[in-house]
Chain A
Amino acid sequence: MADRAEFLASIRHRTRTGKYKPTHAPDVAWTPKESPPETRLIEDPSARFIEKLEALKGHGFRAESGDEAREYVVSLARSRGAKLLVRWDDEELAGFDAPLADAGVEVAVPRDPEGLREVAGRADVGLSTASWAIAETGSLVLESGQGRGRSVTLLPPTYVAVLRADRILGTVPEAISKYAGGKVPANVCFHTGPSRSGDIEMSLVVGMHGPGDVHVVVVG
């Protein structure tokens, strides 16, 4: 069993006494080209985000209003024959309950771990918000937190996220800089399109362990 102090002391010793200092820079084949990299200004982040998401076999929808977003989710749940939808305990999503119930879809909003465990595995649809989205890659940035079960975005075969257009960032570095140097939630996930696998003969399987049917509604 390694003792922490000993372990670190041995490493310190090696790094301090090592004679060799690596000298190689990455080689010519990769050295930056003459022209400076163009700054990639994304004119319409929502459009780019949706375009990227669809390229990954996800579905993006631009809703003018909250009402339109709710309509989309209701008709999605209907078209999937959903009986049970599990959602995050988030104010922004509270307005979805009534129209879903009207459409005959039961809505579960787990508020304790047991409750989540009970429903997440059998829900047909998971509904969440997202802290951010990344236009360049079609990714959602999901943060864990109170009432925001990770499995809501993972276990149901259909997953839909609703977020405001002004939450769409341009690039991955922008998204990462949101957490740089600060406090990181217990879980952050860059969720990019439907779950997939290519392990068998490189044939694409969509919806391997996570949801294969992924929708993002961009509001505004």
Chain B
Amino acid sequence: METKKPPRQRDTRDRREEGIVSPVEGFNERGRKAAGDKALHDAIQLFTHKSVAGRNAVLNALPEAPELRERAYGIKQRTMANLDRYLEQMADAVEDRGGNVFFADDGEDVVRYIGELARRRGAKVITKSKSMATEEIELNHRLEEDYADLDLEIVETDLGEWIAQLAGDTPSHIVGPILHMNLERVTKILSGAAGENLPPNVQALAAFARKRLRQKFLTADVGITGANFGVAETGTIVTVTNEGNGRLVTSVPPVHVVVMGIEKLIPRFEDLSVFTRLLARSGTGQELTVYTNFVTGPRAEGELDGAEEFHLILMDNGRSKLLGTPFEEALYCIRCGACLNVCPVYRQTGGHAYGSTYSGPIGAVITPLLKGTDEAKDLPHASSLCGACWEACPVGIPLHDLLLKLRNHQVEEGLAGKGQKAAFKVFENTMKSPALYNISRKAGRLAQKPLLKDGSVKPVPGPTSGWTGSRDLPPLAKKSFRELWKEGI
């Protein structure tokens, strides 16, 4: 089987002649700001180092990990090739168990379905367990706006997500939503919610959150979750959490709504044995998260809790466009966050610099693909192409290769569209010499080297650590990401 592509050669061309210069200004601007923020930098380092170390330790202790990774890739490949069939099987299985299934083309469909459901149920309080799919469509915000007359109180229940929600902030990491906030900031936010000054103490703050959210769990009319996996064979929805909020949101309220991207399907229940062994290990360095919760339809006859009404929303929102295209592999992602943690770019800038729901390498790939390559066209360039993401990915998604394909795609589009070409011209000056690009690639290769030792991914030294000096640099003139990279940002 082919293992290494020669993508690095492919992108060495100087494209200024073609009017194509990496349009990285959006990311650059935000990235530079982020890289100059010492507190943020420290927070990201803390999180990514711990996560990577934990991941390495548990994966190295699992001799079958490489085999599992190949199986995971194979399962996802087969799933996507027959996605229509598995979706149908999933829908039938859920309906067999007394659940409702709704196919949503986009976020608007989802909002309308949930809004109407809330209206019918006379719902006031909705509890949510962390879900990137609902972040992607800005569900909370849109429900509050479009269904203002219902006066819904939508409460995130993951501690980090709730804090982000209180602050009007968005998650900066798939797994650690508020890793960008320090204790001081969290104290301020929660004190605001409490209406009194809380001590800057993690346990005390968590105790306040527990108490406040407990009321919400108990009074919620509807619980909304995402899905880590959906099993077509049985109609089972799997969510993993550590706090227990996922299990609470699916157990206590009378209605449970699942918003699931169509790519989250896996064919058989036993396939879970592959994915559950990879997901927590890759994401948080745990063998399993505390709660791996499997929900199949509404509560059964004679059961005392669990939702009476179960709704599965299968959401496309741009995903199906990737089927059968060279970008299909982007759909294999199980959102573990490992690629973010090892990415030398993410580790300098954090998630918000990407300006999108999904950040890091997978964010740089999936955002332009889901939103259209016109949007977020800077993101495919927010990478050093060192390949650390690919190696960390438990499903073996060749992320750096997809990033290159995206860049190529932009070239083709750039050549086709005059307007876009003109837009690229603006940034022409930012790219002074192709040599810079070569240097950046070299840096990428250097960064990759230690990653390959013993076939495992180590915390990235090299250019990453070199970047730390950047915090003291004066504000830079407009420069491309590649230039920043060369200067160690």
Chain A interface (Cβ < 8 Å from any Cβ of B): 1-4, 7-12, 14-33, 37-38, 56, 110-113, 115-117, 120-121, 136-137, 139, 144-151, 154-155, 172-173, 176-177, 179-181, 183-203, 205, 207-211
Residues of chain B contacted by A210 (CB below 8 angstroms): 243-244, 247-248, 290-291
Residues of chain B contacted by A184 (CB below 8 angstroms): 234, 236, 269, 294, 296
Within 8 A of A (CB), among B388-427: 390-391, 395-396, 398, 401
The 9 closest A-B pairs by CB, nearest first: A18-B324, A210-B244, A26-B396, A37-B63, A199-B160, A180-B270, A25-B1, A146-B302, A208-B243
Contact A26 B70 (CB under 8 A): yes
Q: Quick one: which of B1, B47, B300 contacts A185, CB cutoff 8 A? A: B300
Is B455 positioned at the interface, with any CB of A under 8 Å from its CB?
Answer: yes
Residues of chain B contacted by A38 (CB below 8 angstroms): 63
Q: How far is the CA of A121 from the CA of B213 in the complex (A)?
A: 13
Contact B81 A195 (CB under 8 A): no
Q: Quick one: which of A24, A188, A208 contacts B210, CB cutoff 8 A? A: A208
Min CB gap B319→A, angstroms: 9
Q: How far is the CA of A179 from the CA of B218 in the complex (A)?
A: 30
Residues of chain A contacted by B488 (CB below 8 angstroms): none
Which of B138-146, B176-184, B374-382, B475-483 forms contacts with chain A? B176-184
Q: How far is the CA of A207 from the CA of B203 in the complex (A)?
A: 10
Residues of chain A contacted by B91 (CB below 8 angstroms): 4
Residues of chain A contacted by B449 (CB below 8 angstroms): none
Contact A203 B202 (CB under 8 A): yes
How many B residues touch A, CB cutoff 8 Å? 120
Is B242 positioned at the interface, with any CB of A under 8 Å from its CB?
Answer: yes
Contact A25 B316 (CB under 8 A): no
Known: A117-B305, A186-B303. 4 other contacts (CB 8 A): A27-B4, A29-B457, A149-B305, A200-B159
User: In the complex where A1-B112, A17-B324, A172-B277 touch, is A181 in contact with B105 (Cβ < 8 A)?
Assistant: no
Q: How far is the CA of A122 from the CA of B435 in the complex (A)?
A: 68
Contact A205 B202 (CB under 8 A): yes
Which of B14-22, B23-31, B82-90, B118-126 forms contacts with chain A? B82-90
Contact A30 B396 (CB under 8 A): yes
Residues of chain A contacted by B63 (CB below 8 angstroms): 33, 37-38
Contact B270 A208 (CB under 8 A): no
Min CB gap A92→B, angstroms: 17
Is B154 positioned at the interface, with any CB of A under 8 Å from its CB?
Answer: no
Residues of chain A contacted by B245 (CB below 8 angstroms): 208-209
Contact A24 B398 (CB under 8 A): yes
* Closest A residue by C-beta to B1: A25
Q: How far is the CA of A151 from the CA of B218 in the complex (A)?
A: 10
Residues of chain A contacted by B43 (CB below 8 angstroms): 201
Min CB gap B299→A, angstroms: 5
Chain B interface (Cβ < 8 Å from any Cβ of A): 1-5, 43, 46-47, 50, 63-67, 69-70, 73, 77, 80-84, 87-88, 91, 97, 101-105, 109, 112, 157-160, 163, 176-179, 181-183, 186, 202-203, 205-206, 209-210, 213-214, 217-218, 233-234, 236, 242-245, 247-248, 250-252, 262, 268-270, 272-273, 276-277, 284, 286-306, 314, 316, 320-321, 323-326, 328-329, 390-391, 395-396, 398, 401, 451-452, 455-457
Min CB gap B106→A, angstroms: 9
Q: How far is the CA of A121 from the CA of B220 in the complex (A)?
A: 14
Contact B391 A27 (CB under 8 A): yes
Residues of chain A contacted by B88 (CB below 8 angstroms): 8
Q: How far is the CA of A179 from the CA of B304 in the complex (A)?
A: 22
* Closest A residue by C-beta to B42: A201
Q: How far is the CA of A115 from the CA of B304 in the complex (A)?
A: 9
Min CB gap A181→B, angstroms: 7
Min CB gap A54→B, angstroms: 14
Contact A25 B297 (CB under 8 A): no
Contact A196 B305 (CB under 8 A): no
* Closest A residue by C-beta to B392: A29
Contact A30 B65 (CB under 8 A): yes
Contact A150 B247 (CB under 8 A): yes
Contact A24 B303 (CB under 8 A): no
User: In the complex where A22-B329, A24-B2, A189-B293 touch, is A195 in contact with B303 (Cβ < 8 A)?
Assistant: no
Residues of chain B contacted by A193 (CB below 8 angstroms): 290
